[in-house]
Structure 1
Amino acid sequence: MLYALVANVTSKTAANGIYLDVDLQDSTGSTVGKVWQATEEQLQIIGGFIGKIVNVTGVKVTYRDQMQLKISNITEADSQAIEMFVESAPVAKNELQESIERYILLVEDPTMQRITRKLISKYSEQFYTHPAASKNHHEYMSGLAYHTDSMLKLADAMATLYPSLNRSYLYAGIILHDLGKVIELSGPVSPTYTTVGKLIGHINIIVSEIHVVAHELGLNSEAENESLMILEHLVLSHHGKYEYGSPKLPMMREAEIIHYIDNIDARMMMLDRALDATSPGDFTPRIFALENRQFYKPKSEN
């Protein structure tokens, strides 16, 4: 018997009837269990386990030279911490929270700091548990906060090298740039796009939220309005190109840098993951999100 999280259940048809593919996962990885000759009742019951912790009983069998788990019984388990069963960021949530809150304090523009602080407080629980994407990069628990924190550290180094960059703009823009994903994505368990995520998208979601918070805070002076406009531009332009879904192209130094920092962190995560699974002297499989290229792992990387 094992404990696992049910990430998904798929009904399929074989020559001898309907069977179920049950995607099971814990913090070490995932596997697919099979329920052969499944009944309609089993489909309804097991389908209701998606996103829940279960007890699974079964045997490992070899089928067409591949090992698979033949499930004989599956029942809902007692409530346990979901973090035990899903992939999580390599940094603890409390460490990410401490780091990001420190950067909020470093936002010297008072308008940007007030908006950033209020929005992070409003969505704190989701922000520190949600993934940054449904696939490709940081698609795990706390991935959004981890991606944000990594970008902040890159921005810190960039601003040290290029002191003309405004740190308030960088830090506030980075902290808020993907915050709309707490509404766009369903959550850390098998993340999918919500209806509002599909129809509106995370960029438009957070720009709307910025407007709501600015109104709640009574920010309407000339100086506050310019800070608000700049913050909106940093969020609206962070995808960098129209074809990448960016409503605006970057038109400020900080907007340009945020776009590239975002790209660097996402690409490095994809590269590290692919190369970690590649033997020295070999190439990775083609990575669609990286222009469908293969990448070489030098023999010296043992």
Structure 2
Amino acid sequence: MVTISTLQEKDMINAPFMIVSVLNGISNNGAPYLSLTLQDKTGTIEAKVWDVKEQQESIAKIGSILEFEADVLKYKGNLQLRVKTMTHKNQSEYQLGDFIMASSISKDELQSGINGYINQITNSSLRQIVDELFKRKGNDFYIYPAAARNHHDYVGGLATHTLEMCQLGEAIADLYPQTNKELLLAGILIHDLGKIDEYKSPIVVEYSTQGKLLGHISMLSAELYEIAKQFDIHENEEVLLLRHMVLAHHGKLEFGSPVVPQILEAELLNLIDDMDARIQMFTKHTDQIQPGEFTPRIFPLESRTIYLPKKKDSK
């Protein structure tokens, strides 16, 4: 079976893939084309449909699984498909699991780990907010991705990212006793819950209307304050600090935070968030190359190329 992870330059393929993004364009000669992002459970790949026909455009819908006849090319260091034909078939012929990337950690393991960190929070105000938010988000927390594209961009990615961040946060708080460990864990646990409302679906990530207009940071901050008022704890300092952590967790105004970190726990949340995301991006891209090779330039990593060291025989 042809999968994205097995594609090689100069391959000629006929295989099904899920469409996860569609962009319309006009080429230099004035002809319309489509730029697609295709996905299966092993990864994603960009595809171009040149001189696109009206019939092709009509079936190129986000979330649809189509049969693609295409050549595999290399463009600016990345593999890309040049599509010859694409055909729509009965969607019931496909197993959805073959086209969805998912966390390598089982849902049971994620739930057990997350619940363990929630149970470390004994401060009543923090615990009420964390418990209520997780009650509201329910199972969605364990199926949504952490990001649309760059890191942990798969089913279960949000819970995986959060659990890894909790593990980092716990280690850092143990190393630096001046840290308010419960506040840090509470901030980590809830910081990205707004993404569940920011995205339309956990499978094909499209932004909801409120996600586009408000963004996950402001939506979560508003929901947090509404919960605090519900429990009559909205004037407690712990709640103020937790709201600050949510608002500041992107670290800089130009990265989407309306305020910058002004307490230690907010600074640590930003650093831990960025560290875990970057480690996952390194792993994601080096998994696609052989030892001794460089990746193509990776835009969210400052357009750097990343080298995968050669494996040495153990002595």
- The answer to whether the superposition gives a TM-score over 0.5 is yes
**1:127·1:145 contact (CA, 8 Å) conserved in 2?**
yes
Residue 236 and residue 285 in structure 1: after superposition, are their counterparts in 2 closer, same or farther (change >3 A)? Answer: same
Cα deviation 1:81-111 (Å, max 9, x = unaligned): 6444211122122321221122111111111
Whether the 8 Å contact between 1:20 and 1:34 is mirrored in structure 2 is yes
Query: Which residue matches 2:18?
Result: 5
Contact 1:86/1:140, CA 8 A, preserved across alignment = yes
SS in 2 for 1:235: helix
- AA aligned opposite 1:120: F
* Closer/same/farther in 2, CA of residues 39 and 196 from structure 1, 3 Å limit: same
Deviations 1:219-278 (A, max 9, x none): 35x6xx112111111111211222222222222221111111011001111112222233
Q: Which amino acid aligns with 1:243?
A: E
Match of 1:147 among 161, 175, 183: 161
Query: Partner of 2:104 in structure 1?
Result: 90
In structure 2, the residue matched to 1:175 is 189
Structure 1 stretches lacking a partner, 5+ long: none
Report the residue type matching 2:252 in the other structure: K
Change (3 A) 1:170 1:10: closer
Q: Residue 72 of structure 1: CA displacement?
A: 6.5
2:293 aligned counterpart, secondary structure: coil
Residue of structure 2 in register with 1:240 after alignment: 251
Q: CA deviation at 1:216?
A: 2.3
Q: Is the contact between residue 61 and residue 67 of structure 1 (CA under 8 Å) also seen in structure 2? A: yes
Contact (CA 8 Å) 2:47, 2:81: kept in 1 or not?
Answer: no
For 1:186 and 1:116, the matched residues in 2 are separated by 23
Q: 1:265 aligns with which of 276, 284, 300?
A: 276
**Are 1:25 and 2:39 counterparts?**
yes
The residue aligned with 1:51 is 63
Q: Which letter maps to 2:144?
A: H
Amino acid in structure 1 at the alignment position of 2:229: H
Matches of 1:76 and 1:213, distance apart in 2: 45
Alpha-carbon distance in structure 2 between the residues aligned to 1:93 and 1:140: 13
What's the Cα RMSD here? Answer: 3.3
> 2:32 and 2:106 mapped to 1: Cα distance?
42
In 2: Cα distance, 1:276 partner to 1:12 partner: 31
Aligned-residue offset at 1:27: 1.1
Instruction: Name the CA shift for 1:35/1:177 in 2 (closer, same or farther; >3 Å).
Output: closer
Aligned residues of 1:132 and 1:178 also touching (Cα < 8 A): yes
Q: CA 1:301–1:277 in 2, change beyond 3 Å: closer, same or farther?
A: farther
Q: 1:172-251 maps to which residues of 2 (within 5 A)?
A: 172-219=186-233, 225-251=236-262
Change beyond 3 A, Cα 1:301–1:253: farther
Distance 2:18 2:222 in 1: 35
Relative to the length of structure 1, the TM-score reads 0.82
Paired AA for residue 50 in structure 1: I
Aligned equivalents of 1:248 and 1:73: distance in 2? 49
Identity of aligned residues (%): 38
How far did 1:18 drift? 7.0
Are the structure 2 counterparts of residues 63 and 204 from structure 1 closer, same or farther at C-alpha, using a change threshold of 3 Å? closer
SS at match of 2:273: helix
Contact 1:207–1:235 (Cα < 8 Å) also in 2: yes
How far residue 3 of structure 1 moved from its aligned partner, in angstroms, is 5.8
Q: What's the TM-score, normalizing by structure 2?
A: 0.79
Equivalents in 1 of 2:47, 2:298: separation in Å? Answer: 27
Which residue, 106, 127, 142 being the options, matches 2:120?
106
With over 3 angstroms needed to count, the CA separation of the structure-2 counterparts of 1:19 and 1:204, relative to structure 1, is: closer
| Helix, strand or coil at the partner of 1:117 | helix
Matching residue of 1:125: 139
